[in-house]
Amino acid sequence: MSAIVPLAVLGYMLILCIGLCGKVKRGRQGVRAMDHFVNATLFNGYAWESISSHAWRDRDSTWAKGVIWLTNLFQKDHCKRSNKREQPIVDLILKKGLHHQTIGSNRR
């Protein structure tokens, strides 16, 4: 944890620099990775899912309603569309059991 937090801060600063001065595609990939990181750590979501998709999946909770409201200011039905795009991936990973711990476990 001591190494991850400084690296995440450094990564965020790099995303800003790349977003302002670098290739847009690379900046978007960094933002997407940060989105998934924040979803997994702060919102207790899946690491392979965005905050927007998670908010739509959990849309009855208070935090999700706030995210949906905020994203609708910029793009109507953003969270709904995001979930429609990402839900098949979530379903596949859960079906195949790829979300289970592999290192340090007895599962094979």
- Render each residue's pLDDT in the chain as its tens digit; 108 residues: 576 678 777 877 887 787 778 777 877 888 888 899 889 989 999 999 999 999 999 999 999 999 999 999 999 999 999 999 999 999 999 999 888 877 776 655
**Cα–Cα distance list, 93 to 46, 75, 76, 107 (Å):** 10, 28, 28, 16
Whole-model pTM? 0.77
Report the b/e string of 9-28 with b at 16+ CB within 10 A: eeeeeebeebeeeeeeeebe
Contact (CB, 8 A) for 71 and 59 = no
Residue boundaries of the structural domains of the chain: 1-42, 49-108
